């Protein structure tokens, strides 16, 4: 018996991936549960196990090709073939094969009312692969249970609008709204700029984007063009924290982690986020509402040879500094080795990115939609601070807090960052008030 092995679901909000590497070839015998291929998504590389056992007879997808859940990867000849042959002569089998076409004709007539959702706009057809849509449109589609791949659109670039999703969900015609389509298409306009590059005497090298870089570029473009960013800057005196880090660093190392200033920031953030819930929320612009989350999953950006990855520390409010230090080290190692599972990259409610190890005193981090804020950390340096009638050397840590101005005002950001700084400068505040 020949069975199809189809790519399974890759995780929440993962519409497609790239076949990075095939671990098998035609003629190989695979067992159910054996890893057979590597799929690259926007933030991770996942090994996919086979769902069937048998001998591979045909591979239908090449390495480097885009693929989405449900597509056939290869065909397998299973050991169940003799059983199927033995069942074929049964009397019921032949009539079933003959009878099947009969209902097919009648069913076609009643089924005619169903096609209208796919006919609303001339030339609009479902599109395989990654569908272009704004975050708010994707959120509404998930809420309504609509598969964006099935929504017809009038946009030549394939970008789905909110009106088209709502019309599809109602089972009616998707409106050919020219104005909204133009607005949605706006982020894609800068692309033609790359068409004409000036001639240079030294020559050029063209390097195609990797799957991670391509998806990162798409996501960052969408985040930057749909979210009105504002960045607030401030500094924390972490002289005392640095002394604590040196004092207790060995204890954390004994547990398998590394105590850093980031460890203290991760511990302080949940308490601050609880006090300022707008920073632990997401926006549903389709429904004109904010969604406040009562769980605290902190994403931490990790620089890897393959690009920027953001593993997530789940339930940070329930973990100790030691636990988070160990977990962060493990996640960072997996990120650099491309061994992060998809679940390690999903569910974040707030993100921290630290460039302190590389230098710089400030930057403007881009918000990781659908989150509403991101905290950037730069290099801590000794600075003269006026205290007690004289200048004293203090270790000052610069923060850059980018926030979504649709939900968060400047005063909110200033208060949020001042509270975080207060907790870091006086850690015992957590014990007194948290």
CB 354 within 8 A of CB 262: yes
CB 325 within 8 A of CB 258: yes
CB 173 within 8 A of CB 120: yes
| Spatial CB neighbours of 155, under 8 Å, sequence gap ≥ 6 | 161, 181, 184, 185
Q: What are the two backbone dihedrals, phi and then psi, of residue 232, each rounded to the nearest 5 degrees?
A: -110, 135
Of 132, 139, 129, 172, nearest to 155 (Cα)?
132
CB 219 within 8 A of CB 42: yes
Report the alpha-carbon distance of residue 275 to residue 323 in Å, rounded.
23
Torsion sign across C-alpha atoms 423, 427, 428, 430: positive
DSSP, res 161: P
Q: Is 164 helix (H, G, I), strand (E, B) or coil?
A: helix
| 254-to-251, 257, 258, 331 alpha-carbon distances in Å | 5, 7, 9, 18
Q: What are the two backbone dihedrals, phi and then psi, of residue 287, each rounded to the nearest 5 degrees?
A: -95, 0
For residue 19, the cross-strand partners are 39
Burial 251-276 (b: 16+ CB within 10 A, else e): ebeeeebbbbbbbbbbbbbbbbbeeb
The pair of three-digit structure tokens given for residue 322, joined into one six-digit string: 């030691």
Of 149, 22, 111, nearest to 73 (Cα)?
22
Which uninterrupted H or E stretch holds 17?
Answer: strand 17-22
| Spatial CB neighbours of 113, under 8 Å, sequence gap ≥ 6 | none
Triad 36, 41, 44: Cα angle to 5°: 85
Catalytic annotation, residues:
405
Neighbours of 239 (CB within 10 A): 17
């Amino acid at each position: 018996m020949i069975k199809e092995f189809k790519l399974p679901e890759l995780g929440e909000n993962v519409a497609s991936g790239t076949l990075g590497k095939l671990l098998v070839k035609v003629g190989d015998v695979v067992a159910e549960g054996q890893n057979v291929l590597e799929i690259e998504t926007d933030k991770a590389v996942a090994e996919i196990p086979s769902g069937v056992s048998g001998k591979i007879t045909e591979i239908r997808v090449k390495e480097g090709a885009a693929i989405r859940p449900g597509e056939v990867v290869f065909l397998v000849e299973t050991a169940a073939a003799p059983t199927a042959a033995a069942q074929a002569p049964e009397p019921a089998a032949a009539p079933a094969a003959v009878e099947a076409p009969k209902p097919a004709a009648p069913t076609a007539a009643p089924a005619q009312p169903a096609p209208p959702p796919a006919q609303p706009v001339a030339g609009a057809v479902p599109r395989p692969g990654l569908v272009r849509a704004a975050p708010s449109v994707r959120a509404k589609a998930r809420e309504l249970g609509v598969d964006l791949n099935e929504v017809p659109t009038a946009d030549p670039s394939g970008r789905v609008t909110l009106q088209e999703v709502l019309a599809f969900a109602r089972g009616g015609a998707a409106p050919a709204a020219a104005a909204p389509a133009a607005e949605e298409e706006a982020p894609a306009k800068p692309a033609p700029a790359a068409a004409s590059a000036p001639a240079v005497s030294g020559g050029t090298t063209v390097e195609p984007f990797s799957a991670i870089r391509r998806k990162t570029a798409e996501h960052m473009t969408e985040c930057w063009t749909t979210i009105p960013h504002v960045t607030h800057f401030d500094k924390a005196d972490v002289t005392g924290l640095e002394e604590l880090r040196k004092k207790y660093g060995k204890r954390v190392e004994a547990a398998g982690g590394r105590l850093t200033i980031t460890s203290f920031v991760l511990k302080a953030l949940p308490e601050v986020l609880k006090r300022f819930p707008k920073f632990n929320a997401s926006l549903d612009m389709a429904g004109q509402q904010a969604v406040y989350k009562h769980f605290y999953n902190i994403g931490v950006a990790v620089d890897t040879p393959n690009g920027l990855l953001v593993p997530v520390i789940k339930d940070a409010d329930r973990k100790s500094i030691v636990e988070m230090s160990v977990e962060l080290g493990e996640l960072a190692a997996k990120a650099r080795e491309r061994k992060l599972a998809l679940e390690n990259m999903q569910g974040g409610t707030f993100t921290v990115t630290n460039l302190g190890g590389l230098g710089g005193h400030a930057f403007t981090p881009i918000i990781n939609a659908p989150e509403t804020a991101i905290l950037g950390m730069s290099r801590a340096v000794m600075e003269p601070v006026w205290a007690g009638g004289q200048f004293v050397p203090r270790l000052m840590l610069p923060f850059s807090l980018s926030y979504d101005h649709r939900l968060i005002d400047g005063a909110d950001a200033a208060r949020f960052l001042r509270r975080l700084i207060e907790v870091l400068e006086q850690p015992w505040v957590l014990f007194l008030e948290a």
